[in-house]
């Protein structure tokens, strides 16, 4: 049995260069720029701009303001709980936010807001699975892999009024 070949491409975005990674089963990761510059592919990955063209197109459309919902084969990895959190992220509509506690309640685990936060922090598909739409209980911006400036930019791009003026999905 041979190891699966992961494919990658890079693309510019308003947040900096994004690194997209896919396997045979779909998009696995979207890496945001790191503190010291763009994310870099692992040596064993193979560059394939054609295989990742649809993901690039849909992200370009999102950043241009013409796409609100992604339609891509996704293949994130994680524990069953992490995958449940990722599935819940996919249900948060464009331009809407919710808190970690609200997500925990939606998952039927009302005391698991910290675990939801930890799973959000491991989200391998930033932007497409919109963890930027999850905020603190009081509407404050909390951690984001790309930094709070990127989270703020994404929310403003989606028309979210920050702080107490946010529209919340789960009440």
| Residue 131 annotated to the active site | yes
- Secondary structure of the chain in HEC code, one letter for each residue: CCCCCCEEEEECCCCCCEEEEEECCEEEEEECCECCECCCCCCCCEECCCCCHHHHHHHHHHHHCCCCCCCCCECCCCCHHHHHHHHHHHCCCCCCEEEHHHHHHHCCCCCCHHHHHHHHHCCCECCCCCHHHEECCCCCCCCCCCCHHHHHHHHHHCCCCCHHHCCECCC
Digit-coded pLDDT (tens) for 21-33? 999 999 999 999 8
User: Taking 70 as the threshold, does the pLDDT of residue 115 lie above it?
Assistant: yes
Fold type of domain 80-165: Arc Repressor Mutant, subunit A (1.10.10)
pLDDT of residue 136: 84
Domain segments of the chain as ranges: 7-64, 80-165
Q: Which one from 22, 32, 55, 131 is the annotated catalytic residue?
A: 131
pLDDT of residue 70: 96
The pLDDT-based confidence of 37 (bands split at 50, 70, 90) is low
Least reliable range by pLDDT among 47-61, 97-111, 129-143: 129-143
């Amino acid at each position: 049995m041979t190891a699966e070949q992961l494919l990658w491409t890079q693309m510019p975005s308003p947040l900096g260069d994004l690194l997209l990674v896919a396997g045979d089963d779909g998009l696995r990761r979207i890496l945001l720029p790191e503190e010291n510059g763009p994310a870099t592919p692992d040596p064993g990955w193979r560059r394939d701009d054609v295989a990742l063209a649809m993901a690039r197109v849909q992200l370009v459309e999102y950043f241009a303001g013409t796409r609100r919902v992604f339609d891509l084969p996704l293949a994130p990895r994680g524990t069953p709980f992490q995958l449940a959190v990722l599935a819940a992220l996919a249900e948060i509509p464009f331009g809407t936010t919710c808190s970690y506690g609200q997500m925990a309640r939606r998952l039927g685990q009302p005391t698991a807001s910290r675990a939801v936060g930890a799973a959000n922090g491991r989200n391998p598909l930033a932007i497409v699975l919109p963890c930027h739409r999850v905020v603190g209980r009081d509407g404050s911006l909390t951690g984001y892999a790309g930094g709070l400036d990127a989270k703020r930019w994404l929310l403003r791009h989606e028309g979210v009024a920050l702080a107490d003026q946010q529209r919340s999905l789960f009440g």
